[in-house]
Each structure stands twice: as C-alpha cells, then as structure tokens.
Amino acid sequence: TNNYNINNMEVSNMEDNNIFIGGKPFMNYVTAVVMQFTTKNAEEVVIKARGKFISRAVDVTEVAAKRFLEGSVGVKNIKIDSEEFKNNEGKDIRVSIIEITLGKNQ
C-alpha cells in the first residue's frame, strides 16, 4: 500500500510512461499525455488516479485521445481496484483507483 496523501498526487513523467492525476490544472495532464506520445514516442501511456480524481482521469483521457491526438491513440485497457492505507489520523481508509492504458492505434 502507498502511504501518501490522496490530495498530493502530481503529474509524473517517469520513463515508464505513468501519469498520475491530481489537483494541478487540467491541461497540464492533457499536455503530459500528448507529450509522451509525440516527443517521447511512447507506445503506451498509463493514466492513474485515485478517489475524487478518477473522473478527471477519464476526462484527461478523452480530451488527449480525441481532441489533441485525433484518434491516433485509443484506450487499450482499463483497470479498476481499491487501495487501503492509513490517513493522517492513522485510520485505515479504502480508496478506489483507476488505471487507463492508452496505446497507439495500428
């Protein structure tokens, strides 16, 4: 389990092409996804979010794939799950997570 605050998720451009959705401006995430496919020539990008940021992850996916990359990428897989971790007061809480895998269309 991860021991970090759900509100502090950041854009992360790691070499394994994971983008973590959080509270930064919406277009930062869209740009991060588009950059992975265009400048870094990634075959796939995984967009990850937890809790209240799940709907934002879906929106980022749709805007990046349909408006910016204009159908050159598509959703290859969607994984949903839940994570349990301790909050700041030491209480166990469970939060939903989503991982959306975007890949280049053949």
CATH 3.10.20.30 for the 6-104 domain, yes or no:
no
pLDDT band at residue 15 under the 50/70/90 scheme: low
pLDDT band at residue 6 under the 50/70/90 scheme: very low
Burial of 79 (0-12, 13-18, 19+ CB in 10 A): exposed
* Amino acid making up residue 28: N
Tokens 């588009």 sit on residue: 34
Reported pTM? 0.82
- For the chain, the structural domain boundaries read 6-104
pLDDT (tens digit per residue) in 32-57: 999 999 999 999 999 999 999 999 99
pLDDT (tens digit per residue) in 69-98: 998 999 999 999 999 988 899 999 999 999
The two beta strands, 92-104 and 73-86, are: antiparallel
pLDDT for residue 103: 96
pLDDT (tens digit per residue) in 22-36: 999 999 999 999 999
Q: Is the pLDDT of residue 13 over 50?
A: no
